[in-house]
Structure 1
Amino acid sequence: MSGAESFTGLDATLVHFWQFAMSDLRTNTVRGYLAEFLVSRAMGAEKTRVEWDAYDVLSPDNIKIEVKAAGYVQAWTQTRPSKDPSWDVPQIIPIDPATGKLLPKEQRAFQADVYVFAVHGARTHADYDPLDLAQWTFYVLSRAQIEEMPRGVRKQALATLQRVRKAANGVAYDALAAEVRSAVN
């Protein structure tokens, strides 16, 4: 959709809804969508995101990428920046492509080839600019590195920023695609 589509029976377009629901890029959900978009663009992927897919981005060279995002500035009023982020990285029960049904739980696994942890580094609301790519740092880990992380509930990998930084160097946006391809090899 382009955003110009009109609602039937309402004097509004789809872009009005997007402005209403997704204009604050500090919210955790929208920041996650933005990070997925950035990774998708870096990789040259054309496909739009698919909710509840086994991974977030499929590159043109068939690299399956899971994207996790975080930041220190949140949408709500804060007395101080958020602490270093952490992420639960779940193992996914795959879907049989022929039937669309979940495969047995025993086949639960990490489905992506690469995991990108996108961290927006601004520490104050005044400095926060989610469209400034220089404020983002990307950490790229292979599936094998995720499989080595400590486990929590439901066998999820517990990826703290400290663990992620120990496993990978942060890269700027312009180095992201090369880092993803390097992590696969």
Structure 2
Amino acid sequence: MAPDSSNPVIRLTGKEPFSHEDVQLGRTVDDFWSWSSSDLLSNALRGMLAEYIVGVALGCIDHRIRLEWDAFDLKTDDGTTIEVKSTAYLQSWGVTKPSSRRFSIGETTAWHADTNTYDTTAMRQADVYVFCVHTADDRAVADPLRLEQWEFYVVATATINRRLGNQRSIALSILPQALGVSPVGFDGIAEAVRLEAAQSGR
């Protein structure tokens, strides 16, 4: 079940204390985040980290929070909606197999956080997809916070629809040729999104 949009989540600072019967325990949300979210190579965190990186590049996450169940991952100030997907050469327990480096691109029936309603037709919800690849394959130097270790493939949803139809996933190995796209670095994301969004009429 989707969350209730009438009860918005307040963005935390990390300094909020844990307490028991009005007595603070000397632990904060920062401590929880550090405990739960320090393994940035984990599959569970990588997707959220990729969304954050793309959001930073697009300047569209300040003073906002991630909406886990929303129809798309990010929305720029000009209204362009973004779906972010990620994969990596490494994960917490070892190197990923080339065959597992895939992105989900299936159509969905969207829930909209702002209206707390569902669509009735399955489709790809965002204007633009950003496929994020953490390319480091040596654990000794792998650091997802070093953004030069990432590549980003930015593709208009219209292109995916035209070239891939209702295909549900695509392998990294064939993505450039199948979608006619080349990777950009972190500093190229915003311009690539702008160009691809133009194909969606944005």
Q: TM-score, normalised by structure 2?
A: 0.81
1:184 alignment counterpart: 197
1:12 aligns with 2:27: yes
1:127 aligns with 2:127: no
Structure 2 unaligned regions, length at least 5: 1-11
1:42 to 57, 67, 73: 57
Deviations for 1:156-185, whole angstroms, at most 9, x for unmatched residues? 532211332122100000011000111111
1:29 alignment counterpart: 44
Matched residues in 1 for 2:112 and 2:149: separation?
39
Could you tell me whether the CA contact under 8 Å between 1:146 and 1:157 is conserved in 2? no
Shift in Å at residue 87 of structure 1?
1.3
Deviations for 1:38-96, whole angstroms, at most 9, x for unmatched residues? 110111103321011111010111110000011111111x3x55326111223221346
* CA RMSD between the two structures: 1.9
Structure 1 unaligned regions, length at least 5: none
1:91 to 107, 120, 124: 107
Shift in Å at residue 35 of structure 1?
0.7
Could you tell me whether the CA contact under 8 Å between 1:140 and 1:170 is conserved in 2? yes
2:88 alignment counterpart: 71
Could you tell me whether the CA contact under 8 Å between 1:73 and 1:82 is conserved in 2? no
Cα pair distance change 1:44/1:5, threshold 3 Å:
same
Give the 3-state SS of the residue equivalent to 1:162 in structure 2: coil
Shift in Å at residue 8 of structure 1?
1.5
Cα pair distance change 1:61/1:121, threshold 3 Å:
same
Q: TM-score, normalised by structure 1?
A: 0.88
Matched residues in 1 for 2:108 and 2:47: separation?
18
Could you tell me whether the CA contact under 8 Å between 2:70 and 2:111 is conserved in 1? no
Deviations for 1:115-158, whole angstroms, at most 9, x for unmatched residues? 0001010002112011111100000111112213546xxx5532
Give the 3-state SS of the residue equivalent to 1:11 in structure 2: strand
Could you tell me whether the CA contact under 8 Å between 1:70 and 1:118 is conserved in 2? yes
* Identity across the alignment (%): 35
2:150 alignment counterpart: 136
1:59 alignment counterpart: 76
Matched residues in 1 for 2:156 and 2:82: separation?
9
* Richer in strand (by share): 2
2:132 alignment counterpart: 118
Report the count of equivalent residues.
178
Cα pair distance change 1:98/1:81, threshold 3 Å:
closer
Cα pair distance change 1:140/1:57, threshold 3 Å:
same
